[in-house]
Amino acid sequence: MYHILCFDRKKEAPMLKTAFVTGGTGFVGKHLVSALLNKGYHVIAVSRSARPDENSADGLRYVAADTTLPGKWQDELTEVDLVVNLAGVSIFHYWTAAYKRAIHDSRILTTRHIVDALPSDRDVTVCSTSALGYYGTRGDDVLTEAEPVGDDFLAEVCRDWESEALRAEEKKARVIIARFSTVMDKSGGAMKVMIPPYRFFVGGPMGSGKQWFPWIHLVDLIDGILFLAENGESRGIYNFCAPDPIRNVEMARAIGKLLHRPALLKIPGFAIGLLMGEFGKSIIGSQRGTPDRLLKEGFSFKYPDFKSAMKEVLSIQ
């Protein structure tokens, strides 16, 4: 028997019963799965690393599959009410030609196979992730959801990714595109890479330091997905970033101050490019994102400013 989610809203959403989550064992996926279970959903979590024999929570079932390939896993989509597509290999890696192909295919092919398997006779909400990388590097431009696509590799991936997801509208699905920024949480993600240099007194700005750094706390990211999924009128593109973007140099100072460490060691952009190649150039790009549509639809951020978010990440009272 499926649990039924009930809630009191001015605009009541359809009763969502079963959620299908790709990337369900990843950094964001495992937290989303837990939140969905707490909301009363039955959850099917799909991942290459999933171990079906480890199902331990009521209402949770793991499916192990390579979602870049069609297969029996697609049969799970015939009876679902909510799809959250988080699949994709990490971009935090040196980008060889083969790895760039894996970045592209893990996102585009997975999304294509999901949409191909969706029923056309059932109301389904599809929340598919993308990234603020869609806009490319844009200096001081304020990036609302209405801004055009960029012209670098990540922008092209995001464009193709979103195009595949939006095909679900042809099957009458309600499609939500969540353009993620850097996700902050003490349990992992970018913080595992960003914080250690400061602890060892070698933290500081990257490149010019003037570039904008879009971010979102994991709590707000999960709450934002649920907020849009439960609002039956939400659809289209949403920037998933806090309303307080910060320049890289200001971010470095804030982290250093909270950790009582200097933040003076500046890493030149050319050095980052030499060490990390094309990926290195991407991480010193500038994206002044704003969550325009989330705010207009009434979403409230628990961590709207960088300092409060970092204090929670660093467990500082």
Q: What are 88-125's pLDDT values in tens digits? A: 999 988 899 999 999 999 999 999 999 999 999 899 99
264 part of a folded domain: no
Residue 275 has pLDDT above 80, yes or no: no
- Of 6-20, 51-65, 254-268, the poorest mean pLDDT is in 6-20
Residue 118 belongs to domain spanning: 18-184+214-244+288-307
Question: Percentage of the chain surpassing pLDDT 90?
Answer: 73
- Rounded CA-CA distance 140/133 in Å is 15
34 in helix, strand or coil? helix
302 part of a folded domain: yes
The number of distinct structural domains making up the chain is: 1
| Helical residues (DSSP H) of the chain, grouped into ranges | 27-38, 97-117, 153-166, 191-194, 196-199, 218-230, 248-259, 269-283, 292-296, 306-313
Number of neighbours of residue 44 by Cβ within 10 angstroms = 23
Q: How does strand 125-131 pair with strand 182-185?
A: unpaired
208 part of a folded domain: no
CATH number at residue 229: 3.40.50.720
Residue 276 has pLDDT above 80, yes or no: no
pLDDT of 229-268, one tens digit each? 999 999 999 999 999 999 999 999 999 999 999 888 887 7
Residue 49 or 221, more confident: 221
Confidence tier at 55 by pLDDT (50, 70, 90) = low
Distances (CA, A) of 284 to 88, 125, 274: 21, 35, 13
Read off the amino acid at residue 89: V
- Of 1-10, 52-61, 195-204, 283-292, the poorest mean pLDDT is in 1-10
137 part of a folded domain: yes
105 part of a folded domain: yes
| Helical residues (DSSP H) of 149-291, grouped into ranges | 153-166, 191-194, 196-199, 218-230, 248-259, 269-283
Number of neighbours of residue 6 by Cβ within 10 angstroms = 9
**Among 7, 86, 75, CA closest to 40:** 7
- Of 16-30, 32-46, 271-285, the poorest mean pLDDT is in 271-285
Residue 187 has pLDDT above 90, yes or no: no
pTM, full prediction: 0.90
255 part of a folded domain: no
139 part of a folded domain: yes
6 part of a folded domain: no
